[in-house]
Structure 1
Amino acid sequence: MGEVFAGRYELLEPIAEGGMGAVWQVQDRREGDIKAAKLLRQRDAASLLRFIREQATRIHHPHVVTPLGWAGEDDNVLFTMPLLRGGSVAMLLGDYGGLSEQWVDAVLDQTLAGLEAVHAAGVVHRDVKPGNLLLEVTGAGVPHVRLSDFGVAVPADQPRLTEANVMIGTPGYMAPDQGFDPDPRDDLYATAVTGLHLLTGMRPPHDAAYVPPTPLGRLLLRAVGEDRAARPQSAGEFRQLLAEAVPSRPWEPGEIEVLDQYAAGRMSPPPPPPPPTPRDTREKTAIRRTNQHDDRPVWPIVVLALAGVLLLAGSAFLLS
């Protein structure tokens, strides 16, 4: 029997480890099912703020992962979410390399559908990338993608809570003209970079010479072009352009299968991965520091945000 957190969640197996904590498979002893759980160490207010933001982002949509509940014990906090057994799109890239246009179209369309709901709720995700796109188990059928990890997401109209000269995101997926304040169009840029990664099998930055000269390839290059006004301006517009670039047709099962990544003894292991590129294969959310400064106060806003959202999160915990 594994360690039991807060008298309810039995820690079974680690899924991923990060600087802030770890993601585990857990057994919910109250409800009797298996969930995923993010276990955070409360080292400082920044990590706690990320936890609160993610817990408070409850957007119910078929292509968005919604937090389920949370608990605290000693110096740790834990929140649960559905366990998506198909792994991540990043894992799929590691197994198969570049994907077919049919696959890229499906992943991007579903990601953009999720972003439509996120942006309609007034939230900017700020960290769209293959590692944050999780998959349901669908075998060789049509994939089902869910956008996850809202730890750095913010309301579009909320004052910045980070340092004055810091921008948050994953290098390579951040728009070169990204500003300090959250903008939904930055999520669209990151989605287009993700599409190029899926299409070519190569991590950013991308060389246009390796992008297929197809309508989809040209659309993705336009969506990451230097002219911000020429890029898609909304998730809905991007979906429409995608539908025009890749005409709808019946799903054609290929060699790619989305299998249960957590089943004991998988029957059909994936093919060997393609040769690694010389670039570092890690994708980590990072900060970009600049020489610009802003005199707006930060910590009073943090304290007020913590107090307000903790009150809401506490109510959700009592109801769970």
Structure 2
Amino acid sequence: MTSDPSRTAPASPTGSAAVPPASEPATAATLVAGPSTAATQVATSGPAEAATVVTHGIDALPPGAPKEIGGVRLRRVLGKGAMGEVYLGRHATMDVDVAVKLMTTAAGDGERFLQEVRTAAKISHPNVVQVLNAGTQDGHLFLVMELVTGGDVAQLVRRDGRVPWRRAVDLMTQAAEGLGAAHRAGIVHRDVKPANFLLTGPLAGEGRLKVADLGLAKHQHATDVELTQAGVVMGTPAYMAPEQAVDSRRAGPPADIYALGVSLFHLLSGRLPYEAPSTT
């Protein structure tokens, strides 16, 4: 179900709400892999797509994919989004499994991909997925990220329906801390929703929440505004603040806070606050 926030939802706050301060380091990205190779959860997004994709692990790499990039040996495809494919890889030096995102030729938006990398590199916080490396090699743009293995909060809601209020508040507090780190770095996420809140432990456990998928993120500085066209809507309508639904360039930290509030409502009630048969 989707909603029409420009018709039915109240405007988001005019100023950024107080966000608990950050204390420890980590960084930003887009992946969560399930513990088994049979079904892997991958949170990927691009300009027109920001949804959790479920794929089966692939033992062989697809034609044209590099066997090694950025010091990482690629093992199999985990998922594909509008901006590129995500692979499971093994970092040769660190000897750990990592996630690698490769920009697709069809996407053709190298500057946007590099903005995502720069965005991720600005953030250091335990509630944001960590970026390990990025760059260009043999014509491929790549982003190396930590692997987060516990699923996402959207899966938790689908499984349990209403989330107990103490758990819901704890999760959204952690999300607020991660978003606060992004806002302090001058970054607006623009696609805040449960599917972009990844968990480090099993869904039934008490794993840490990490904010993922800054692929739609926007720097709050005017020098970056040309990367988002006027009138183009970026984000997920059901969680979107009215001003963002009109023009994504108008989305500031209050739009993220608005979407965080919608996410909390979803966890507590098991449904979205505004529902409509279409987004128009």
Name the TM-score class by shorter chain.
Answer: 0.5 to 0.7
Kindly state the Cα deviation for residue 204 of structure 1 after the two structures are TM-superposed: 5.6
User: What is the rounded CA distance, in whole Å, between the counterparts of 2:240 and 2:70 in structure 1?
Assistant: 41
Of residues 255, 269, 272, the one that matches 1:186 is 255
Runs of 4+ in structure 1 deviating by more than 4 angstroms, as ranges, are 138-141
Residue-by-residue CA offset, 1:79-100 (whole Å, 9 max, x unaligned): 1111111121122223322211
Of residues 237, 254, 266, the one that matches 1:171 is 237
Q: Structure 2: 5+ residue runs without aligned partners? A: 1-58, 62-66
1:91 and 1:74, CA in 2 relative to 1: closer, same or farther beyond 3 A?
Answer: farther
- Equivalent position SS for 1:69: strand
Corresponding residue for residue 88 of structure 2 = 25
Corresponding residue for residue 197 of structure 1 = 266
- Asked if 2 retains the 8 angstrom alpha-carbon contact of 1:65 and 1:147, the reply is yes
Kindly state the Cα deviation for residue 149 of structure 1 after the two structures are TM-superposed: 1.0
1:1-320 superposed matches below 5 A = 2-3=60-61, 4-6=67-69, 8-46=71-109, 48-57=110-119, 58=121, 59-137=123-201, 140-158=204-222, 159-160=224-225, 161-178=227-244, 179=247, 180-203=249-272, 205=274
- Equivalent position SS for 2:111: helix
Q: Structure 1: 5+ residue runs without aligned partners? A: 208-278, 281-287, 290-320
The amino acid across from 1:84 in the alignment is V
Which structure features the higher share of helix residues? Answer: 1
The structure with more radius of gyration: 1
Normalised by the length of structure 1, the TM-score is: 0.59
- Asked if 1 retains the 8 angstrom alpha-carbon contact of 2:70 and 2:142, the reply is no
Which structure features the higher share of strand residues? Answer: 2
Residue-by-residue CA offset, 1:101-139 (whole Å, 9 max, x unaligned): 111101110010111111111111111111111111167
C-alpha RMSD of the superposition: 2.7
- Equivalent position SS for 1:190: helix
| Percent identity over paired residues | 34
Residue-by-residue CA offset, 1:169-216 (whole Å, 9 max, x unaligned): 111111113353331000001111111221222246259xxxxxxxxx
Count matched residues: 210
Q: Highest relative contact order (Cα 8 Å, sep 6+), 1 or 2?
A: 2
